[in-house]
Structure 1
Amino acid sequence: MDIIAEAVSILMHDGTVVYPTDTVYGLGADAFSDEAILKVYEAKKRPLGMPISIAVSDADMLHAVARTEPWMDPFITTFLPGPVTVVLPARKSVPMILTGGTGLIGIRMPSHPLALELIRTFDAPITATSANLHGTKDPQVPDECTVPRELLIDGGRLSGTPSTVVDLTGKRVIRAGADIDRVAKFLLTL
């Protein structure tokens, strides 16, 4: 069994997988399974009520979990896939625990081929939070992935700069990270 097939099997059984992205290592679990999501919160020692982003593999998957307006499309198509998390209104299919009760969901579409293959093969969104204990350094190499998990997909050394988080509904940057200059300039055009 190859590593992607093994990872998908783990995800299908509410397990957790560490995977490489274009920024840092992520902790992935089935974004539609309450049991799997709780494992992510427990693994990270992250307080419940704090939102957790999800990763998708394409625009169809993004539109299945979030509502967008036509004016948002240029931003989404420019920056996804890439090192940007877009915060959008969540559809009812998204578990409320992931939104932290805000009704909004952070969405990543990483440009890392292993991450995209994993999500595409699983055929559903997975959690997209860094694979470290809450409040500690974002993991750039496998040895820095400090969370319990069933499997780690080694992607070597990653950039280490977390994604820029953009609340697209409010046209504002929530967290400056990778590609911030280009993101900030583009937001001014919306």
Structure 2
Amino acid sequence: MDPLIYSLETCVQYLSQEMIISYPTEAVFGLGCDPYSKKAIINLLSLKKRSIEKGFILIAANYNQLAPLVDDEKLSFSQKDLMFSSWPGPVTWILPARENTPYWLTGRFSTLAVRVSNHASVINLCIAWGKPLVSTSANFANLPPCRHESEVLVNFGNDFPVFSGKTGGRKKPSDIRNIFTGEYIR
């Protein structure tokens, strides 16, 4: 095993130290960090050269990990049914954020993009971590996302640990849908 490819336990330690990690998802390798750590978010924004105004996607092992950030009282029964029927799986929903959700997660929006993953590595990581993860693709702007551990290492070097594993084989990233309009954003 490459010395930069890390175990679950080591990646959780890095997360607890407000650091970025990389991990496999349904389609590509992601970059992630503790969603409650402003320091980690600032580092991730800097690495990706990304505006804080865009907000982030959060991924989780289950909805309970996302519930403290989502204002689900604003959702109808049918909207909740639609959301839960698509999870776990590669569907990211744009949902209303609670007022106390950190601005670095929502960006310029009053909503939050969230997904309950069906990918074993993501599930295991989020369960071991005990929280959702910020998730953005492991790539630089205008370049294709990394689909293999080796590509992450070539593109990012020693910047952070890579959680060992394979992507889910999906060709396209997760769908992103607005819960209120049903619109497909991606």
Match of 1:154 in 2: 164
Residue deviations 1:64-122 (CA, integer Å, cap 9, x gap): 21122222222222211111111101123421022112111100222111111111111
- Show the 5 A alignment for 1:1-190: 3-68=7-72, 69=75, 70-145=77-152, 146-147=155-156, 149-157=159-167, 158-175=169-186
CA distance in 1, matches of 2:50, 2:156: 11
CA distance in 2, matches of 1:135, 1:83: 22
Q: Post-superposition shift, 1:10?
A: 0.4
CA distance in 2, matches of 1:28, 1:171: 27
Q: Post-superposition shift, 1:151?
A: 0.7
Aligned partner of residue 82 in structure 2, secondary structure: helix
**Runs of 4+ with deviation above 4 angstroms:** none
Letter in 2 for 1:174: I
Larger RCO: Structure 1 or Structure 2 (Cα < 8 Å, ≥ 6 residues apart)?
2
Aligned partner of residue 120 in structure 1, secondary structure: helix
Identity among equivalent positions (%) equals 25
Q: Kindly indicate whether the alpha-carbon contact (under 8 Å) linking 1:140 and 1:160 is maintained by their aligned counterparts in 2.
A: no
Aligned residues: 174
RMSD: 1.7
Mind listing any 5+ residue stretches in structure 1 that lack a counterpart? 176-190
TM-score, structure 2 as length reference: 0.86
Aligned partner of residue 172 in structure 1, secondary structure: coil
Match of 1:180 in 2: none
CA distance in 2, matches of 1:56, 1:18: 15
Mind listing any 5+ residue stretches in structure 2 that lack a counterpart? 1-5
TM-score, structure 1 as length reference: 0.84
Q: Kindly indicate whether the alpha-carbon contact (under 8 Å) linking 2:7 and 2:164 is maintained by their aligned counterparts in 1.
A: no
Deviates more, 1:99-108 or 1:62-71: 62-71
Q: Post-superposition shift, 1:47?
A: 2.3
